[in-house]
Amino acid sequence: MRSYAETNVTLVTSASRSGFLIGSTWKAKKFWGGYVSANTPISFYPLTFVPDSPDVVVGRKDIDSYAVFPEDGAALLQMLQSGVSPEEAAHWYFERYAEPIDIEDFLQTLGDLQFIRNGRDKEVVPPSTRSSIWQSIGRATFSPLAWIIYSAILGYSLYVMIRFPYLRPGYHNLFFSPYLVVLELGLFLGQFPGILVHELFHMLAGRRLGIPSRLGIGRRLYIIVFETHLTGLWSVPRQARYLPFLAGMLADLLWFALLTTIASLTYTPAHPFSFPGAFCLALAFSTLLRFIWQFYFYLQTDIYYVFTNILRCVDLQQTTWQYLWNRIYRLLKLTHKIRDEDAWNPRDRQVARWYVFFFGAGYLFTLGTLFFVGVPTALRIFSGIVADLLNHAAFNLNFWDSCVFLLLNGIQVAVVAWIYWRERKARRAAERSLSAMSHEKNLSPDYVEEKGVL
C-alpha cells in the first residue's frame, strides 16, 4: 500500500497573499543547488502542464516529480518559464490578480520539487532507444489488432466453458493432485507467471503513453503484493489513465482464458488429476480469485485508482486515514495529536467523510479474516505438528504437509515484517528531512499518494 516518503507528487494549496511586494528587494537565494536573484531569469527543466479543473498538474517526467497547482500558481510558473525574472513575474501577478505574491516562497517550493535547473546539471538526456522500443511494444499490445485477438481468446474460452461444464471455475479445481504438498507448492509457485503478466500489462499500458515505470514489492495491510509504479500518469489527462489502471485486470482475464483453453485440450474428466489440464484449471481458478481481489478497493487495488480518478481525488487513502484518526483522537481527548484538516485537498476531505465507512468496514473484514480464520488455522496446524512429534509420528505425509503450509505462510509473514520495517525507516527519514527543512510557508507542499501503484 505503503510508505509515503516515496511519493513524488505535491499539492500546492494556494498562492501566497503576503511577502514580496511591489518595490521590495531580496538577496540572491539558493534553490536546489543554484542561486537565483530577483532580476535574473530562471532556467527550468522541461515541465508538463495538465489542466485538471480547478487545478493544474505540473510535472517533471524524467524524475517523476509532480505537483498540483492552483491555476494562478501554474500561470505564474509559466511566466517564469517563459524567461521573465522573478521580480517581473511578481509584478505581473500583482497586476493580473490584484494581490501580492511571496515570490521567494514560491521559488522555494519549485526548488523543493526540483523544477529549477542547477547550473552544474547537464541537459536532460533524451529517451533512449530502449525506451522507444518499449513504447512501440506498448502501442502494439493495445492496438486494434491486439483487441481483436484478446476478444477471440476470451470468446473461445467462454464457449468451451459453456460447452464443457467441467471447465467452469470452482473451488474443487484447486485440488489438482492427491498430495497436499504438491497442491501447496504448485499453487504458490504457479501464481508468479500470472502476476508477472498482470504487472507487465500495467507497465506496457504506461509505456504506450511514454510513461516510465518500475516494479517493486509492497504490502496491503498484511498481504504481499507486487507493484508497478506509474507516477508519470500525473502527466496525462485523467481520461487517459483508465487503461493503465485496468490493464492488469485485463491481463488476469486473458491469463484465465488461456489457462482454460489449455485445459480444454489436455484435461480428461475421467482422470481428475490429469496433467497439465488439472493444474491449469487450478491456476485459472486462483487467477479468478486474484481478479476478484482487485475489488477490495480499500486496500488500494486497481479498482481503487479507477474509483479515485472518477471522483477526482488526489490522496484519498492518506486523507481517510488521517480523518479516521482525528475522530479517534477527539473521542480520546487527545487533541494535541489531531492533524490540521485544512492542509488536505478539499475534494479528498469531502469524499473522505463518507468513504471512511467503507474504508473502516473493509479493514475490519480483512483483519477479522486474519484473526478468526488465518490465526486459528495456523495454530491448529502447528499443534498437529507438535502432536506428531510427541507421538513419534513425525515425517509422515501429514507432517510434511503441515510443515510446507507453515513455511509458505511464514515466508509471507517475514516479508511483510521486512516491508513494514523498510516503510517505517523511510518514513522516519522523511520526517527528519522535513523537520530540518521546515520554515514558514504559504505555498506549503503536502505529499500525496504515488499515482498508479498497481
- Mean pLDDT for the chain overall: 81
Which pLDDT score is estimated for 394? 61
Query: For the chain, what are the domain ranges?
Result: 4-112, 130-310
Look at residue 102 and give its three-state secondary structure: coil
- State residue 13's pLDDT score: 45
pLDDT 10s digits, 124-135: 556 566 778 889
Q: At a CB cut-off of 8 Å and minimum separation 6, what does 370 contact?
A: 222
Confidence of residue 245 (pLDDT cuts 50, 70, 90): very high
Say what the pLDDT of residue 438 is.
Answer: 42
By DSSP bridging, strand 445-448 and strand 9-12 are antiparallel
Q: For 13-32, what is the mean pLDDT?
A: 40
C-alpha cell at 197: 503478466
pLDDT of residue 392: 59
And the C-alpha cell for 421? 520495517
Residue 382: alpha-carbon gap to chain centroid: 35
**What pLDDT, on a 0 to 100 scale, did the predictor assign at position 27?**
43
Residue 409 pLDDT: 78
Mean pLDDT (whole number) for 15-39: 45
SS3 (DSSP) at 118: coil
Query: Is pLDDT at 11 greater than 60 in this prediction?
Result: no
CA dihedral 275, 278, 279, 283 (to 10 degrees): 160
pLDDT confidence of residue 448: 38
pLDDT for 125 equals 56
Give long-range contacts, CB 8 A cutoff, 24+ apart: 137-142. Answer: 137/204, 137/207, 138/203, 138/204, 138/205, 138/206, 138/207, 138/208, 138/209, 139/208, 141/201, 141/204, 141/205, 141/208, 142/204, 142/205, 142/208, 142/243, 142/247
pLDDT recorded at residue 436? 46
pLDDT of residue 147: 98
Please compute the mean of the pLDDT values over residues 419-429 and round it to a whole number.
Answer: 80
Which of 80-94, 173-187, 388-402 has the lowest average pLDDT?
388-402
When pLDDT is averaged across residues 52-70 and rounded to a whole number, the result is: 85
Angle between helices 144-163 and 242-266 (to 10 degrees): 40
- Mean pLDDT score, 191-219: 89
pLDDT of residue 453: 59
Band the pLDDT of 243: cuts 50, 70, 90: very high
Proportion of the chain above pLDDT 90, given as a percent: 33
Q: Write down the pTM of the prediction.
A: 0.78
Nearest by Cα to 305 from 349, 350, 226, 242? 242
Q: Residue 1: which pLDDT band, with cuts at 50, 70 and 90? A: very low
With cut-offs at 50, 70 and 90, classify the pLDDT of residue 279.
very high
pLDDT of residue 451: 52
pLDDT in tens, 280-332: 999 999 999 999 999 999 889 999 999 999 999 888 999 999 999 999 999 98
Q: What does the pLDDT read at residue 402?
A: 74
CA 317 to CA 304: how far, in whole Å? Answer: 9
pLDDT digits (tens, 9 = 90+) for 226-236: 888 888 888 89
| Number of C-beta neighbours around residue 81 at 10 A | 20
Considering only residues 16 and 423, tell me which one the structure prediction assigns the higher pLDDT.
Answer: 423
- Tens digits of per-residue pLDDT, 95-127? 898 888 888 888 888 888 889 887 655 555 565
Sheet with strand 48-52: strands edge to edge: 48-52, 55-60, 65-70, 9-12, 445-448
Closest CA to 53 of 248, 297, 238: 238
Give dist(CA 384, CA 386) in Å, integer: 5
CB 443 within 8 A of CB 16: yes
> Dihedral (C-alpha) 299, 303, 304, 305: value to the nearest 10 degrees?
130
Give residue 446's pLDDT band: very low, low, confident or very high (50, 70, 90). very low
Please check the confidence at residue 15 and state whether its pLDDT lies above 80: no
pLDDT digits (tens, 9 = 90+) for 341-396: 888 888 899 999 999 999 999 989 988 888 887 788 777 767 776 776 667 566 67
Per-residue pLDDT at 157: 96
More confident: 288 or 411: 288
pLDDT in tens, 431-442: 665 454 443 333
Q: Is the pLDDT of residue 445 over 60?
A: no
